[in-house]
Structure 1
Amino acid sequence: MRDMGAQRLEEAAASCVALLRTVEDRDWEGTRASRLEWSCRRTALHIAEALMRYSGQLAARAQERYVPFELPLDEAPNGELLRAVETTQRLLCAVIRTTPAQVRAYHPYPFGSANPEGFAAMGVAEMLLHTHDIAESLGVAYEPPAELPEFVLTRIFPHVRPDTDRWRTLLWATGRGDLPDRAPLTDWRWNNNIVLPTDRLTLQGVTPAAAADLAAGGDGGFDWAEGGPFEGTREAAGMVTKAYEGGVHRPEFGLFVLLRRDDGRAVGGMGFHGVPDEDGRAEVGYDLVEAARGKGYATEALRALAGWALAHDEVTALIAVIDRGNTPSRRVVSRAGFVEAGASGADGVDETETVYELRG
C-alpha cells in the first residue's frame, strides 16, 4: 500500500485554499465560524497552527507533550493566513515524506501517539472540517474531493460506519451534520491506531485502510519479512474490513501486525475475532511468517495482547481454538498462560480442535 499521506495533504490544502480565496475579502474577524466559538479568522489561523504543531511533533519525535509553537499572525490579513496554511502544509508534507512509517510521536487521542499517516490524516481533517466551518458561516458551499474524507475516515475514524457519502459521514462523525437513522453527535474524538510494545516487538493496530489493502493482497503499508503476510493475517484483515463496513469495528479488538523492533519488519499478525461476547470472552488468533517462527515472537506478543485485553473490565477471559495437530501453536498459548478448557466438539468447536482459555 503506497503511502498517500503527503499527497492527500497537498490535495486538501489546494481544496481548502481555493475555496477560501473566493471569500478572502469578507469579514472573517467579525463572523463566527459555524458551531465553533472562534471567528472565521481565528479558525483559519488554527488550521495553520495545527499543521505546524503536527510538523513539530513528528520532526522532534516528541513523546510526552506538544512541542511549543506559535505563529505571529495576529494582525495578518486573510490572504496571509491562507499563505500560512499553504506553507505549514508543505512543512508537514516534508516531515512526513522523510519520517519512517513506524515512527510515532505524541498526540493525546486516544492512545497517546500517532504515526506519520495518522498525523497526515489529522492534518487533512483540520483543513477539510474548518474550511467547512468558515464556508458555512460565510454562506458558500464546500465539497472536497471524495478521496479526502475517505482517507480521514479509514485512518482516524475506524469506529464510524461509513455511509455511501463519505463527506457527509465525516461531517456527522464530527458533530457537523446529520445522517439518516443516526443520532446527532455532540461529543467526538478521532482515533489513532493502537501500539503495544514488547521487548523485541511492536504490536501495531491495523487501520481499516491497511486492512482493506491486506485483504486485497497488498502489504498494508508494512515492510514484511520474507514470505509475509501469511494467509491467516489476510483473512483477519478481511474480518476487520467487514466489521468496519458494518459499523461494529472496535480497534482495541481488531488486528495487530507484529513488527520487529530491531529492523521494523513485519513478522506476523495477531488479534481478535471480534468484540467480547455477552459473557466477556474474546477469541484470539495469530500467525507468523515461516522465517520468524521458533523464536518466541508469538508467545511474547500474545502475553502483551492478553494483558492489554484483560485490563478491560468487559473482558473476563480469552480463548484460542487450535488444531490438535498444531503442536507449536499449542505450546505458544501454554507458555502465555492459557490452559485447556472444555471438551472438544462443544460450542461449535470441531473435534479436531482444542479450546484454550486464559481468565482475568
Structure 2
Amino acid sequence: MRATNGDDVIEAVTGCTTVLRAAVDRDWRAVPAGRLEWDCHTTAVHVADDLVAYAANLAGRAQDAYVPFELTLDEGTDNASLLHVIETTGALLAAAVRTAPPGVRAFHPYPFRSADRVGFAAMGVAEVLLHTHDMAEGLGIPYEPPADLAESVLACLFPHVQPGPAPWPTLLWATGRGELPGRAPVTEWRWHNNLVIPAGRLTLTGLRPAAAHQLRLGGDGGFDWVEGGPYEGTRDAAGLLLKAYEAGVHRPEFNVFVLVRTEDGRAVGAMGFHGAPGADGRVEIGYDLAETARGQGYATEALRALSRWALARDDVRTLLAKIDPDNAASRAVVSRAGFQQVSADDKLVAYELNR
C-alpha cells in the first residue's frame, strides 16, 4: 500500500493504450462502453478530458471551480490519434503531480471541494483504470490492471471501503461494476479525497490509509516532520486508523489529522478522533506534538479548530478528552479550548465540550 504518484498515472495510461490499441480498427462510436450509457469513443474522450482537467486544476491552483475550458478533438481524429491524446493528457497530469508541492490543494467537488497532488494522481488513475475496463468490456478485450494500482486507488479514494480479497475486483465492486462475495451490490458511489481543516498557523491534514501504513512501519507518512516527530502517539493512532480501514469501519471524516505548520509545511504533531461518534453523539479526541513543537500554542489552535468543525455536525453533540492526571500541559490545552472537567480518578481526568 502506497501513495499514488505521477509514475502511477503513466503506468495506468500505458496499460490503457496498450490494450485499446488492439481495437483501433473498430468503430468505437458503435460500441457501448460496458455498463455505461456512453459509447467507447465518448468514453475515451472523457478520459482524456478528465486527465487534462485534473492537470489544469492542480497546475493552475484552481480554488472554486474547474479551469473553464474543455478538450475538443480535431474533426476526423481517428482512434489511434485519440489514444495519443490520452497519452499526452496523462503525461500532463503526471508532470503536474510531480511538480506540485505537498501542501498544494486545488478544486475538486468530492467530497470536501479540494484535493492534493496524491488525490489528483489517484483520481486520474481511477478514471483510466475504470473506463479502460468499460471500453474493454464493450469491445470484448481482456483487461486487468496491476493490483498495486487498484490497491492505491482504493486506499486513497475509498478509505470507507473495506479491502476485499483482491484489489481489482474490490474496486470494480465499489464503483458498481461487479459483484463481491458477501457484499451487497453497489448502486451509488462517490470517492473521498482527504479532509483538511485550517487552524490559524496550522492545517489539519487528514491521514490516508497508505500514509498511516508508512507511519506505523516507522516512516514519515509523506510528511516533513520537525525534529523529534512523529511522536509515538502519532504512530499508535496511525495503526488504529489502519486497523479500522482493514475492518471496514473507518469513517474518513473522523480521522487522524497531521498538524502541518503553514509557514514552512513541516508537520509538528497529530490530532484526531478515537472512531466515529456513537448514537449519543459522543466522540473522543486525542492528540500529541513532537517535543520540539510544544509550548507554542499549536495544540490549542488545532483543538479549537477541530472542535468547531466537529460540533457543527448534526451527528456530534459532545467531545471527550481523557488525560493523564500528571500531564499538566495537556490539561491546560483542553481547558483553553473550552473543555470542562467532568470526572477524575488516579488514572485519567475526563473533560467534555458540548455543543
TM range (shorter): over 0.9
Read off the aligned partner of 1:267 and give its amino acid letter. Answer: V
Query: Aligned residue for 1:191?
Result: 192
Read off the aligned partner of 2:64 and give its amino acid letter. Answer: E
Instruction: Give the 3-state SS of the residue equivalent to 1:46 in structure 2.
Output: helix
CA deviation map 1:218-247 (0-9, x unaligned): 100001011110000000000100000000
Query: Aligned residue for 2:349?
Result: 354
C-alpha displacement at 1:3, in angstroms?
A: 6.0
C-alpha displacement at 1:44, in angstroms?
A: 0.4
Query: Aligned residue for 2:231?
Result: 230
Instruction: Give the 3-state SS of the residue equivalent to 2:69 in structure 1.
Output: coil
Give me the whole-angstrom Cα distance separating, in 2, the residues matched to 1:296 and 1:213. 28
Contact 2:4 2:153 in 1 (8 A): no
Instruction: Give the 3-state SS of the residue equivalent to 1:168 in structure 2.
Output: helix
Does residue 15 of structure 1 match 2:10?
no
Query: Aligned residue for 2:210?
Result: 209
Instruction: Give the 3-state SS of the residue equivalent to 2:343 in structure 1.
Output: coil
Give unpaired runs (5+ residues) of structure 1: 345-350
Give unpaired runs (5+ residues) of structure 2: none
Give me the whole-angstrom Cα distance separating, in 2, the residues matched to 1:68 and 1:78. 26
Give me the whole-angstrom Cα distance separating, in 1, the residues matched to 2:18 and 2:111. 32
C-alpha displacement at 1:186, in angstroms?
A: 1.2
Aligned residues: 354
C-alpha displacement at 1:32, in angstroms?
A: 1.3
Query: Aligned residue for 1:282?
Result: 283
Query: Aligned residue for 1:57?
Result: 57
Query: Aligned residue for 2:165?
Result: 164
Read off the aligned partner of 2:133 and give its amino acid letter. Answer: H
Query: Aligned residue for 2:35?
Result: 35
C-alpha displacement at 1:72, in angstroms?
A: 2.4
C-alpha displacement at 1:4, in angstroms?
A: 4.6
Worse overlay, 175-184 or 107-116 = 175-184
Query: Aligned residue for 2:295?
Result: 294
Give me the whole-angstrom Cα distance separating, in 2, the residues matched to 1:127 and 1:37. 17
Q: What does residue range 66-145 of structure 1 map to in structure 2 within 5 Å?
A: 66-73=66-73, 75-145=76-146
Give me the whole-angstrom Cα distance separating, in 2, the residues matched to 1:32 and 1:96. 32
Give me the whole-angstrom Cα distance separating, in 2, the residues matched to 1:101 and 1:154. 18
Query: Aligned residue for 2:5?
Result: 5
Read off the aligned partner of 1:27 and give its amino acid letter. Answer: D
Instruction: Give the 3-state SS of the residue equivalent to 1:253 in structure 2.
Output: coil
Give me the whole-angstrom Cα distance separating, in 1, the residues matched to 2:76 and 2:117. 32
Give me the whole-angstrom Cα distance separating, in 2, the residues matched to 1:143 and 1:102. 33
Read off the aligned partner of 1:30 and give its amino acid letter. Answer: A
Instruction: Give the 3-state SS of the residue equivalent to 1:258 in structure 2.
Output: strand
CA deviation map 1:267-318 (0-9, x unaligned): 0000011111232111100000111111100000001111111111111101
Q: Cα RMSD (Å) of the superposition?
A: 1.2
Instruction: Give the 3-state SS of the residue equivalent to 1:229 in structure 2.
Output: coil
Give me the whole-angstrom Cα distance separating, in 2, the residues matched to 1:4 and 1:319. 35
Instruction: Give the 3-state SS of the residue equivalent to 1:107 in structure 2.
Output: coil
Instruction: Give the 3-state SS of the residue equivalent to 1:357 in structure 2.
Output: strand
C-alpha displacement at 1:352, in angstroms?
A: 1.9
Instruction: Give the 3-state SS of the residue equivalent to 1:252 in structure 2.
Output: coil
C-alpha displacement at 1:2, in angstroms?
A: 8.1
Give me the whole-angstrom Cα distance separating, in 2, the residues matched to 1:246 and 1:64. 35
Give me the whole-angstrom Cα distance separating, in 2, the residues matched to 1:259 and 1:3. 18
Give me the whole-angstrom Cα distance separating, in 2, the residues matched to 1:108 and 1:39. 25
Read off the aligned partner of 1:326 and give its amino acid letter. Answer: N
Give me the whole-angstrom Cα distance separating, in 2, the residues matched to 1:75 and 1:166. 38
C-alpha displacement at 1:357, in angstroms?
A: 0.5
Query: Aligned residue for 1:348?
Result: none
Does residue 177 of structure 1 match 2:178?
yes
Read off the aligned partner of 2:156 and give its amino acid letter. Answer: R
Q: Using the aligned pairs only, state the percent identity.
A: 61
C-alpha displacement at 1:7, in angstroms?
A: 1.1
Query: Aligned residue for 1:249?
Result: 250
Give me the whole-angstrom Cα distance separating, in 1, the residues matched to 2:42 and 2:77. 11
Give me the whole-angstrom Cα distance separating, in 2, the residues matched to 1:152 and 1:102. 20
C-alpha displacement at 1:136, in angstroms?
A: 0.6
C-alpha displacement at 1:75, in angstroms?
A: 3.4
